[in-house]
Amino acid sequence: MSIIQRENEVLEVRWNPEKPIEDVTRMGDPATPVEVIEEIQDLRAKLGSDLVLLGHHYQRDEVIQFADQRGDSLALSQYAAKMEGAKYVVFLGVHFMAETADMLTPDEVSVILPDKRAGCTMADMADIVDLEDAWEQLGRITDTEKIVPVTYINSTAAVKAFVGRHGGTICTSSNAHKVLSWALSRGEKVFFFPDQHLGRNTGVDLEVPLDKMIVWDPEEPLGGHQQQEVLDARILLWRGHCSVHQHFQPEHADVWRQRIPDIKVIVHPECSHEVVLKADDAGSTSHILKTIKAAEPGTKWAVGTENHLVSRLGQEVAAEGKEVYSLAPYACLCSTMFRISPEALRDTLRNLVEGKVKGQVTVDKETADEANLALSRMFEITG
């Protein structure tokens, strides 16, 4: 049994996807978890083909069980864009994901986030005002036409639009190598944001020396560097990170190898470079899933990514004798994704059945057009 406390409420959870949810009570909501799940099922049936539910890999089990499609953020948005006849896309994820879905789906489709508080701390670290200020500072010492901006998909629509305006593009953790290679071939410098670790790990893979990659601190003049340091840098890395993946430390890999000598360590490239160096493999969530599912029966894995994904993956491969553990000795959960609760999903569907659209996420046309320029470049680069 686990006790989860958030804000002014307490939820006592006993969850096993193979068994019915046990009858437990959440303070502040008269319905039991069983009743909430049953109501979601009924509401979803009423909405029929008008509704598409998209679930990111990091969502909690109680919510992602209702997803029509599971995946990474961009793949889910592309899936929604191909759906015909749907009126509502409910994104079980965070705000920037819903923005991307809104940009890729027709105007008549409403994209909804069940809890508007579900943001992304990494995306928020690259504020558009700070980014424009950094670009202006760079323009005082060099020709910004020779700088290619690249933003991780985990960024706001405004940041994606900035990249589109300035001839840059977007990357995912799956295609970062190809996208960054393209950017390096086109400019004297690459400005990569918001995740410094993905940028650094990818840069190293592309044989960019570590001393040619510097971290830009938006709170300091010229990012905290002397002018010559900025001029000499090949990649400028925004001071940003994933709050989940920063918890993993190199020592965690050492502990697991002492405990289980034949264990394999696989991590997400949002982990620090020191952690990636300790791992046997690094890649996106899709890469982690495919690698472990394709591995020989009986293999053992320590995984450095969000714990809901790790836990589900372990259950899926247990029948093959595979053992999957979290790399960290504690649960690394995405607290913002965790805001999408069964109760929030139920309330969203209640409103839709009543003809009310609440929690809609929209991107204005100008921003969407510029952001889609950056997305289009990414699709051209990656094929």
* Tens-digit pLDDT profile for residues 312-325: 999 999 999 999 99
pLDDT value, residue 72: 82
Contact, 40 vs 349, CB < 8 A?
yes
Assigned architecture for domain 247-326: 3-Layer(aba) Sandwich (3.40)
pTM, two decimals, is 0.88
User: How does 222-257 read in b/e, with b if 16+ C-beta sit within 10 Å?
Assistant: bbebeeeebeebbbbbbbbbbbbbebbbeebbeebb
Q: Please report, for residues 132, 137, 149, 313, the alpha-carbon distance to residue 187 in angstroms, rounded to integers and kept in the order given.
A: 19, 18, 9, 40
As a whole number of angstroms, the distance between CA 99 and CA 160 comes to 10
As a whole number of angstroms, the distance between CA 290 and CA 57 comes to 13
Q: Which residue has the tokens 């000598």?
A: 261
CB count within 10 Å of CB 168 equals 26
Assigned architecture for domain 123-243: 3-Layer(aba) Sandwich (3.40)
Q: How far is CA 4 from the centre of its chain?
A: 22
pLDDT value, residue 49: 94
pLDDT averaged over the chain? 90
pLDDT value, residue 331: 67
pLDDT value, residue 121: 87
Helix (H) / strand (E) containing 89: strand 88-92
**Which one of 3.30.2320.50, 3.40.50.10800, 3.50.50.60, 3.40.1390.10 gives the CATH number of domain 2-118+337-362?**
3.40.50.10800
The low-confidence residues of the chain, meaning pLDDT below 70, are 1-29, 331
User: Where in the chain is CATH 3.40.50.10800?
Assistant: 2-118+337-362, 123-243, 247-326
pLDDT value, residue 351: 97
* Angle, alpha carbons 182-184-190 (nearest 5°): 115
